[in-house]
Amino acid sequence: MRAAWLICVKDLRARLRDRSALLIGIVVPLGLAFIFNSIFSGISGASDVISLGVVNADHGVASQQFTSHVLPAVDRSGLITIHTEPSLARARALAANGTLAAVIVIPAGFSARVQANQPASMQVIGNVDAPVSTQIARSIAESYAADLNRVRLSVATAAGSTPLSPAQTQALAAQAAATSAPVTVTDVSAQTKELNQKSFFAAGMAVFFLFFTVQFGVTSLLEERNDGTLARLLAAPISRASILGAKLLTSFLLGVISMAVLVAATTVLFGAAWGNPVGVTVLIVTAIMAATGIMALIATLARNAEQAANWQSVVAVILGLIGGTFFPVSQAPGVLSSLTFVAPQAWFLRGLGDLRGGGVSVVWVPALAMLAFAAVTGGLALFRLRRLAEV
């Protein structure tokens, strides 16, 4: 164990000194997480709180019910803030410059048309770079309209062909409002089981580059063989197991250092919310083990360090893409969604997502899945690594 630790410390010192591990393990993922977060925060509109505007040009019974009951309920969910704007022109300007992600416009005469049993419509003005937020605003409006129509239909059926009285319209709108609010809030609350954007890109980039970071440890065995220093280690009074163990330990510790720094940095700099520390630690440790096992196995299949690095990079990129580190693929249709489970990255991200929606116990399934990756690939790698530990 002493010899393994000495070799590991030597490797860590050399890696930190040549700065490549520092770049791959910390600087690049942090930079990319920042860039992706900056780019996609405008496009997706899926930041922590969505700002929606509402312009009520009607001030009738139906629109008052919408602004007084439906929208406040949405606002109370904490995920969307509603801003009442006095004019359409101002609201349109705020949506254009991105201050508001979208605006729901209730035109004048809306309530009268509802009351007269005539077609009525609301408008949604969206920021071009916030399509998701625009869709959310549209869904809220459509949901209220659908409920309004459903209730109006039932009232109209009861009243025959007689136009609705003001009392009936008010009752209808109140009924629609009472129906809409829970539906809208339920839809939005589904997001609590997914990582928010900042956390997603922080975790995605961290686990994507983790697979590159752990390469340095195992591949150094091939480098030592190529450089002749492996012969010197083999001639020393230490066991071969300590040499192999040192390389795996180096990979593991590089992964730990990289992930620890990234978790801390993205939390402080970006406000990423990783979740319960115990659960996050379990997920990180098992992800590092899985990454080390897979990268070690690939290294044993290569003839030299250069070939190993190339193969490892290809596998890391493919698994990263399948695992949804750049964009979520867990809800993709068909084969793609099933395919994600062959990537430890997917289990890692899924574990973090589940952790946001539940207690620590939810991480055991993803953690066990990653441990299985580690056991199978690591076991095969250890078997084959003995071949590498020869001059």
Partner 1 sequence: MDGAKVGERMLECRGLRRSFGKIVAVDGVGFHINPGETYGLLGPNGAGKTTTISMIAGLLERDAGEVVVAGEPMTTHSVRAKGALGYVPQDLAIYPDLSGRENLMFFARLYGMSTAEARHRSDEVLALTGLADRAGDQTKQYSGGMKRRLNIGIGLLHRPRLLILDEPTVGVDPQSRNAILESVEGLSGAGMAVLYTTHYMEEAERLCDRIGIIDHGKLIAEGTRGELVSMVGEGDQVRLSATGNLTGAAAKLSARSWVRQAKALDGGIDLVVENARSELPAILTDAAVDGVAIRSVEVTEPDLEAVFLHLTGRALRD
From 37-45, 140-148, 164-172, 237-245, give the range in contact with partner 1 by CB under 8 A: 237-245
Contact 252, 289 (CB under 8 A): yes
Mention every residue, 6+ apart, whose C-beta is less than 8 A from residue 331: 337
Shortest Å distance, C-beta 1 to partner 1: 13
Q: What is the CA radius of gyration of the chain?
A: 28
State which of residues 27, 236, 260, 264 lies at the interface with partner 1 (CB under 8 A): 236
Shortest Å distance, C-beta 239 to partner 1: 7
DSSP 91-113: HHHHHHTTSSSEEEEE-TTHHHH
Contact 71, 51 (CB under 8 A): no
State which of residues 156, 238, 376, 380 lies at the interface with partner 1 (CB under 8 A): 238
List the strands of the sheet with 102-106, edge to edge. 80-84, 50-56, 102-106, 123-126
228 belongs to the binding site for partner 1 (CB under 8 A)? yes
Shortest Å distance, C-beta 305 to partner 1: 14
Distances (CA, A) of 324 to 218, 243, 288, 334, 359: 25, 35, 17, 15, 23
Distance, CA of 206 to CA of 325 (rounded, Å): 9
237 belongs to the binding site for partner 1 (CB under 8 A)? yes
Shortest Å distance, C-beta 240 to partner 1: 7
Give me 115's structure tokens.
């009351």
Site size toward partner 1 (CB under 8 A) is 23
Of 76 and 386, CB closest to partner 1: 386
Shortest Å distance, C-beta 328 to partner 1: 40
State which of residues 39, 142, 232, 361 lies at the interface with partner 1 (CB under 8 A): 232
234 belongs to the binding site for partner 1 (CB under 8 A)? yes
From 100-108, 224-232, 276-284, 291-299, give the range in contact with partner 1 by CB under 8 A: 224-232
Secondary structure of the chain: what % helix, strand, coil (to 5)? 75, 5, 20
State which of residues 17, 59, 76, 193 lies at the interface with partner 1 (CB under 8 A): 17
Distances (CA, A) of 16 to 22, 213, 214: 6, 12, 13
193 belongs to the binding site for partner 1 (CB under 8 A)? no
Task: Report the first-to-last Cα separation within the chain, whole angstroms.
Answer: 22
3 belongs to the binding site for partner 1 (CB under 8 A)? yes
From 64-72, 99-107, 221-229, 340-348, give the range in contact with partner 1 by CB under 8 A: 221-229
227 belongs to the binding site for partner 1 (CB under 8 A)? yes
239 belongs to the binding site for partner 1 (CB under 8 A)? yes
Give me 275's structure tokens.
């979740």
**Beta pairing class for 80-84 and 123-126:** unpaired
Residue ranges in contact with partner 1 by CB under 8 A: 3, 6-7, 10, 13-14, 17-18, 227-229, 231-240, 390-391
